[in-house]
Structure 1
Amino acid sequence: MTSSRMQGPVLRVARPTNDLTLLERFYGQGAGFRRLAAFSDHDGFSGVILGYPGAAWHLELVQETGVVAPRAQSPEQLLVLYLPDPEVWRLAVDRMTAHGYEPVPSHNPYWETAGQTFEDPDGYRLVFQNRTWDL
């Protein structure tokens, strides 16, 4: 290994959309993700990569020229963010509602116990879970 810094895998979740602007507004302004990168008309694909700087994951939203992306096929197509600090969790939920995104009932009641679920413009869902995730 040439680097003195050890790094584990980075998870990228990529999904299609028909409207990058609406999705970037939802995940950026609403959920507080940052734009990490973007690309335009790269072999017929345009997209934006969102996340938190330094996190080991990011979300790539992609629009393919001439292709209609389907809406989410199930209310269980979720991204879940575990936010154990009650103040951080409340700020995340309040930021979503301040930008006009109202919580939706979770399909799985587990997420209702300590979370709030929001549906993005393509029908995919984002859950802010006020719990820790320990392996």
Structure 2
Amino acid sequence: MAKLTKAFIDKVQPPAEGYRIHWDETVKGYGLRVTAAGKKVFVAQGRVRGKAVIVTIGPFGLYPEDKGRAKAQRILQDMRDGIDPRDVKKQEEAAKVGDARFEVLDGADLTKCLHRLDDEFRGVGRDLPPGDSGQHLLDLPAD
């Protein structure tokens, strides 16, 4: 174990195959994963509800070692509090997808949407009794 500093990380050589994790001596559970391809990524490893969990913090370069260490400390504290960072990430991604759907609907041309719905409504109308099938969605009352 060594303290993960810029000088140490710059000197780290990639393994012949697979990956190797170099653990930080100051923060237990904070490490640098180095792949055979030479990619260097910060990770945090801890336990959540009794199960071992390892999460990627981000690549070295995008994250300096001190910011990676600070983020690891927050993630590890959350793990000790029983919060699984993988669940948090899934919730954040789901929220982004929901936001994107609203942006598409807000930005869409309302008239085109209504005409498409009208066309679909008329298609459903083919199965209705003779007196009801000619009604258009755009002709319906607004209330």
Shorter-chain-normalised TM-score: which range?
under 0.3
TM-score normalised over the length of structure 2: 0.24
Larger Rg: 1 or 2?
A: 2
**Larger relative helix fraction:** 2
Higher RCO, Cα 8 Å, sep 6+: 1
**Larger relative strand fraction:** 1
